[in-house]
Structures are given as structure tokens and as C-alpha cells.
Amino acid sequence: MLQKSLTPQQLRQLSPTSLAYVGDAVYELYVRQRYLFPPRRTHRYHQQVVAQVRAERQAEQLRLIQRDLTDEERDVIRRGRNATTRPPKRLDPKIYQEATGLEALIGYLYLTDSERLFELLSRFNFED
């Protein structure tokens, strides 16, 4: 991964929405990499990735790992959920909050503990 180590002080300065911003990018890149094989047309890659990075799907993934999270990880998710802005009209606000919480957790773990991040990502259920 490309991250530069952050000091604990720098990490505390990041808002939950900043963590979710990073987490969104990390999650999408992870999903894109997961669907590289078998090789297929770019349009098909796009369809598969979009299906997995939708807020509804992210909320489902969060439910899969919820019981295995540490108190610190649950706190990051809670902060991410509480920091959400107005969801898209098509989306239930609760789903949007859960997805943002997951993205905040992914961003946080990307910056602090990539081993734990990949441990949790490996538990996700991706549809082929």
C-alpha cells in the first residue's frame, strides 16, 4: 500500500468523513482488484464493482463482521455513522449511515493496521 505512517496526533485530527473518504477509495480499489480474474470486458468489470460498492452492499458487509469488531473499531464506525450528511434520495438514511461507518473503518484501518484491514476484508461475501 502507498500510505505514509501518520502520527497518533495526526490520526486524531482526521474527521470521520475524512476517514470515510479514504476508506471509500481503498474499498473500491480492493473490489476492483478482486474482480480482475478471470479477465473480462471493462464494462463487465464496472458492473460487478458498482454492485459491490453500493451503500446497500456495504451495509450488508458491515453486518457480516459486526460481532468480530473491537470496541475501538465499533467506535470508529459509530463516529462515521454520526458524521454522515444527507443521503441520496433513493437511499434509506440508515443504510447510508452504515455504509459510511464501514468506509470510515476501512479508512482508519488502512492508515493504522493494514493486516487487520485485510483480515476483515477477507470475511466479506462478494458475489461473482
As annotated, the active-site residues are 24
SS3 126: coil
| Distance from the Cα of residue 62 to its chain's centroid | 9
Could you count the other beta carbons within 10 Å of the beta carbon of residue 60?
Answer: 17
Exposed/middle/buried for 8, CB within 10 Å: 0-12, 13-18, 19+? Answer: exposed
